[in-house]
Chain A
């Protein structure tokens, strides 16, 4: 009996020792893995996470100038947002009575709460920026061509998800900024009513109201809206993002690695007789990735330490801030809706997004693949498109600011006319016309795509700048915030 008992304990100890030896062997294997090529590629391809990139990469992909590390930066910011978001969920309460107080607690009482909230906020801003720049990089290097169109479309959805994640996070603190940004946003989503009203068919069919009810769970921003935005922000949108990010990364491998121009083959030394110029991703690619990660982490830690995330007064449904500005990345759209809610808030953004998704379908030119601007001609077209776009935005905005618009000149005009003809829609029309002109004259779809992307990018950028710095109380134009009237 006692001997049997003794054997049992011995057996457990033996098993423990075995598990320990196994772990030690594993660690030793990792070390060995750095030695032989065979072991290295095995290490990568056996690991779920490492195998997201292939065991071998082309040295051209590792040049910082190829990608600027923007996609990885977005990925790591998403990871940082997930971790800090989970920490914030420990204290945040999605109820209109307690939400604001819980954010106050996080800022003032929770140990490290202020730091974590700051990081979460700045990482969110950073992710919007890095995802947008990543898209620009992929576009300008023509990396949506050669079977990569599906991944580009995934990327467009990821950009929209990033924006929507930021927007839903906006409401949660239940402060003045949150309340009015979301009131405006929900009305923009429901602004199809403006069209049905103008046509006089709202009593028959009212899609604006359906969308408002779906988004807010009610007719106005209240407890139901807070619950819905919370659900979207913490479960639905992050889950969708994780799935799409997984697909997005997997497609890079399936599409044959990052895009690279023909010259890249000459650029890299051949490592084997077969002319294979790839190198093992362990350890070079991993070091590059680690560098981007620490850059992202360092940046948000510094920002979170140095700057506090804003928190205005508690939401007051009877009086908006003046001016009531949304987050910087929506100020371009806010500038457009200040001309017309439906065309500026729905039609133009939807057309921009659809236009982005259509780029790889309409342009299939192989030339210039992997090269910035596809060469000097593309660079010229992009520059002139940027100049043209700036001229159109500045010119039309100046006319609207100095002389008003159609309804100021003809007050009795039918509401459909300013909805169809306002500075925003005319900017869009100019952009389409310019793209068509480039297409006709050059016969190149790639050059037309460059004109379209650059033009629309510059337009949104300039509208954002106008909204950010040149709009004051009552959305009036001011040269500088120091000239705002004292209330």
Chain B
């Protein structure tokens, strides 16, 4: 006749102790994960559009700063393109210079269409998506960037 401890390598008391510690630990870890998850916000980035005016509001050949969207509107014969004014290095807002743009924080330089010239910025100024709204206002999508090779938005707006 063998005793219960011989048949079971683990005693009931030990099993329950481990179960208690294990479940307490597991719920603690779950609570920790939940608390950490809470600190990460759900950032919705779609639909941040800005209406910045009509095409004729922007002079030809000069980059015009639009303060509320921290961007520059470039209008020339080819059409309109919009550059984000936020330096791709560390997020300072660049300013216009005679030869393009320059970041005051760490000195990155960009050419007249935002191409990277020198300094620590990893690349060119981003180009923001822009289109005409129904009433012919320029509508800027702050969350969508377009490739630098895309053609500029042509003026006047093409209607279907």
Contacts and interface: CB of A to CB of B under 8 A. Distances in A.
Partners in one complex: yes
Interface stretch (B13-21, B49-57, B117-125): B117-125
A224 interface: yes
Contact of B105 (A184, A194, A197): A184
Nearest to B102: A474
A258 B65 CA distance: 61
Interface residues of B, number: 28
A319 interface: yes
Interface string A222-254: 001000000000000000000000000000000
Contacts of B93: 317-320
B41 A224 contact: yes
B39 interface: yes
A194 B120 CA distance: 11
Contacts of A188: 90
A146 interface: no
B91 A186 contact: yes
B67 interface: yes
Given A186-B91, A320-B93, A404-B118, A218 B106 contact: no
- Report, as a range, how many residues of chain A touch the other chain: 35 or more
B105 A214 contact: no
Interface in A156-209: 180, 183-184, 186-188, 191, 194, 197-198
Contacts, number: 88
Interface in A81-112: none
A148 interface: no
Given A323-B105, A474-B104, A183 B41 contact: no
B103 interface: yes
A188 B73 CA distance: 28
A458 to B, nearest CB: 23
B70 interface: yes
Contacts of A217: 41
B122 A210 contact: no
B104 A214 contact: no
Interface string B29-71: 0000000000111010100000000000000000001010010
The 6 closest A-B pairs by CB, nearest first: A322-B104, A475-B107, A187-B90, A187-B91, A338-B106, A318-B67
Given A337-B89, A338-B119, A474-B102, 5 more contacts: A317-B70, A318-B85, A318-B93, A324-B92, A474-B103
30 contacts: A183-B90, A184-B90, A187-B91, A188-B90, A191-B90, A210-B40, A213-B41, A213-B43, A218-B41, A219-B43, A317-B70, A318-B67, A318-B93, A320-B92, A320-B93, A324-B92, A324-B104, A334-B106, A337-B90, A340-B120, A341-B89, A341-B90, A341-B120, A341-B122, A404-B118, A408-B118, A415-B122, A474-B102, A475-B104, A476-B107
